[in-house]
Amino acid sequence: MARVLVTRRLVGDGLALLDDHELVYLNSEDRPLTHAELCEASANVDAIVCVLTDRIDAEVLAAGQGRLKVVANVAVGFDNIDIVAAQRCGVAVCNTPGVLDDTTADLAFLLILAASRLSSDAERTLRTDGWKGFRIDQFLGRDVNGMTLGLVGYGRIARRVAARAAGFGMKLVVHSRTDPGEVDFEPDLDRLISRVDIVSLHVPGTPETKHLFDARRIGLMDRNMVLVNTARGSVVDEEALARALDEGRLHAAGIDVFEREPAVHPRLFAAPRTVLLPHIGSASHATRGEMVRLAAQGVADVLARRTPSNRVTSA
């Protein structure tokens, strides 16, 4: 019987796919396991089902060498896993592509609307200062109807955001590594910024996308623009973003992911016209359940010597 480490509390009934195996839970408190705990556990299991708070680095993978066959991340992003080290150690890595696209696109669109219409500032004022009554000049946001949305990265989730944008009467410009052909593609990211009103980020967290939106690029945005990040915190320089918001060089921002989660940059925390959410892009009952099921399916496939459909093939 194979042993499968489940690093955190999970949801739904997807782990039933692993009923033939022994599930190992070391974590009744549902806290992120320490690096030392992951290394120790890795040495004694055939598979790991983990989440994005688990850093599965070269040391964790090396500790499992000889027995560990598969690591399945209950997330589509896999920047918490050293894919090159996994390949070197002969460990398959699985993720959860496809099952969370609509749910995450909904959240990106929620942030597009909430940031544009300044809903967090308005709600905060209502809750903390008391509502003094309707005023015609209060919390004047920007309409999304008729605006141009710039999508950075045009993969599974971005395409679902594009479908929602069409329903809101928005125009679309897309930047990605490869020209998808069927849309207004802008190969120059700086030029995309000059062509759009709202930027929504949908690239993976990689060394190439680190601070793709740094102080210089954020400086290219004008005071009417909105930046939304549901991709990875590392894609945006949070200090530079907070400064731009403070100085009124950007209309608003909507942020679901942070550079040093769970920490939120104190300047971003205090910045005006900013909607902040605690990494809930895929957080619906149905979608999180499907993510667990797909991760478990990947483990079941590898342990049964089948090739999983959700195996990560390149870093």
Cross-sheet strand order for the sheet of 92-94: 22-25, 3-6, 47-50, 70-73, 92-94
> Does residue 282 bind ligand NAP (CB under 6 A)?
yes
In contact, 292 and 6? CB cutoff 8 Å: no
Identified catalytic residue from 279, 288, 290, 293: 279
Closest CB 23 distance from ligand NAP, rounded Å: 25
Return the range that interacts with ligand NAP (CB under 6 A); candidates 19-27, 129-137, 227-235, 299-307.
227-235
Sole binder of ligand GLV in the list 14, 254, 281, 298 (CB under 6 A) = 281
Closer CB to ligand NAP, 5 or 74, in the complex: 74
Report the partner that residue 91 touches, choosing among ligand NAP, ligand GLV, none (CB closer than 5 to 8 A by kind): none
Catalytic position from the list 31, 124, 223, 261? 261
Q: Does 282 bind ligand GLV (CB under 6 A)?
A: yes
Q: Are strands 252-255 and 274-276 parallel, antiparallel or unpaired?
A: parallel
Nearer to ligand NAP, 5 or 241 (CB): 241
The verdict on whether 238 is a catalytic residue reads no
Single out the residue of 21, 23, 2, 1 nearest to residue 10, CA to CA: 23
- Decide which of ligand GLV, ligand NAP, none touches 149; Cβ closer than 5 to 8 Å per partner kind: none
- The only residue of 14, 64, 141, 205 in contact with ligand NAP, by rule CB under 6 A: 205
Cα(191)–Cα(158) distance, integer angstroms = 19
Do 47 and 25 meet the contact criterion of CB atoms below 8 Å apart? no
104 binds ligand NAP (CB under 6 A): yes
Say if strands 22-25 and 92-94 run parallel, antiparallel, or are unpaired: unpaired
- Among candidate residues 177, 232, 171, the one with its CA nearest the CA of residue 201: 232
* Residues written for the chain: 315
Binding mask 60-89 for ligand GLV (x = CB under 6 A): ---------------xxx------------
Residues 6+ apart with CB under 8 A from 111: 200, 228, 230, 254, 255, 256, 275, 277
Check if the beta carbon of residue 272 is closer than 8 Å to that of residue 246.
yes
Out of 164, 232, 243, 273, pick the active-site residue. 232
Site string for ligand NAP, 154-183 (x = CB under 6 A): xxxxx-----------------xxx-----
Active site includes 265?
A: no
Residue matched to tokens 């992951």: 38
Q: Is 287 in the site for ligand GLV (CB under 6 A)?
A: no
The reply on whether position 153 binds ligand GLV by CB under 6 A is no
- Measured from the CB of residue 188, what is the shortest distance to ligand NAP in angstroms? 11
| DSSP three-state, residue 77 | coil
Contact flag: residue 119 with ligand GLV (CB under 6 A): no
Q: Tell me which residue of 38, 8, 153, 79 sits closest to 312, measured CA to CA.
A: 79
C-alpha distances in angstroms, 296 versus 1, 10, 102, 306?
16, 11, 21, 13
- Residue 232 is a catalytic residue: yes
- Residues serving a catalytic function are 232, 261, 279
* Interface contacts to ligand GLV, rule CB under 6 A: 52, 75-77, 100, 281-282
Binding site for ligand NAP (CB under 6 A): 76-77, 97, 100, 104, 153-158, 176-178, 202-205, 208-209, 230-232, 256-257, 279, 281-282
